[in-house]
Structure 1
Amino acid sequence: MTENNGVEYLNVPLKQLEMIHPITHEKSKEKLQMRINKLVSSKEKILNKKTLTIGEANALIPSKNPIRVVELENGKYIIFDGNGRYEAIRNVFETDDFVVEVENYKITEKKRINEMIKEILRIRFPEKY
């Protein structure tokens, strides 16, 4: 059994975040475009800070939970909740130094989790993994 060793809030560079699944359903694509439009309206203000906090994200693109992640062995963070929000943020703010505040679940059995996530990624993104 994998234990949760706690939750922490981290500022993670956008380039270190990875989706666990693509946005493919038509409704999800429509929602993605609405989120992009909302973020574009505040782009300059947020881009100047180079950081999007959980509070700012929730004000612009509301959700019950913040973007939730688990850290992989390679230093990347896999998103298990918030893939659509991440994709909208990435579309609007993709720069080398842009940072997003996320909720990180600290997992004690990283090797086992990493193996499971890698298998999921190979199935979901065969062209990439």
Structure 2
Amino acid sequence: MFKMLRKLWNYLFSKRKEVKDLEKKDIFLAKFMIDAGRNRRSSEFLMVPLNKIDKIHIIDRENAISKLNERIAVLEENKTEIKEKKNIDREFLGKYLPSISWIKAIKRKNDTYIAFEGNGRLEAFKRIFDKNDNINIEVEVYTFRSYKKMLRRAERVRKYNGITGE
């Protein structure tokens, strides 16, 4: 229990600089994240093609952009290894792009996914690799008790972030 609380505290502490910049879209994202935790039925880790994962929000905050640029630099340095590896698992992600949470997503009906955690890491990968690189990322895919409602909310967050398609 203490370990989980410490993890939550570290996550919130890392986001403290963003609080002053909150907008309506951030409220919808926060609501989605809370509901994702409460309504999760189960989850499983799957290898998902990078080009099948869409982000839930844009990267537009100064500190998030800075972190994104750091991640891009790390991926650039390891581009050859990543292209050879193809399947980027949690161990690799933890080594090169450490974070306190895994990349988490909800699956759409058309076999694409919306990532609601790990958008910065995914954005870094997408800026370095394209569809032809055939990169797969290990993602924690959630199933929800209220799947349709959660999917609708995820799409709403994307809409408020100005994301209509990818």
TM over 0.5: yes
- Which one of 100, 125, 136 corresponds to residue 89 of structure 1? 125
In structure 2, the residue matched to 1:5 is 41
1:120–1:57: structure 2 CA closer, same or farther, 3 Å change rule? same
2:137 is the alignment partner of 1:100: yes
Aligned position for 2:90: 54
Aligned residues: 129
Identity %: 29
Higher helix fraction: Structure 1 or Structure 2?
Answer: 2
**1:20 equivalent among 48, 56, 64:** 56
2:57–2:163 contact (8 Å) kept in structure 1: no
CA distance in 2, matches of 1:17, 1:102: 9
TM superposition score normalised by structure 2: 0.71
Alpha-carbon RMSD:
1.9
Unaligned 5+ segments in structure 1 are none
Cα separation, 2, equivalents of 1:104 and 1:45: 25
| Corresponding residue for residue 105 of structure 2 | 69
TM-score by length of 1: 0.89
Return 34-43 or 66-75, whichever deviates more.
66-75
Residue identity in the other structure for 2:55: M
Q: Which has the larger radius of gyration?
A: 2
Q: Structure 2 counterpart of 1:53, which letter?
A: D
CA–CA separation in structure 2 for the residues paired with 1:51 and 1:92: 15
Equivalent residue number for residue 109 of structure 1? 146
Higher percent of residues as strand: 1
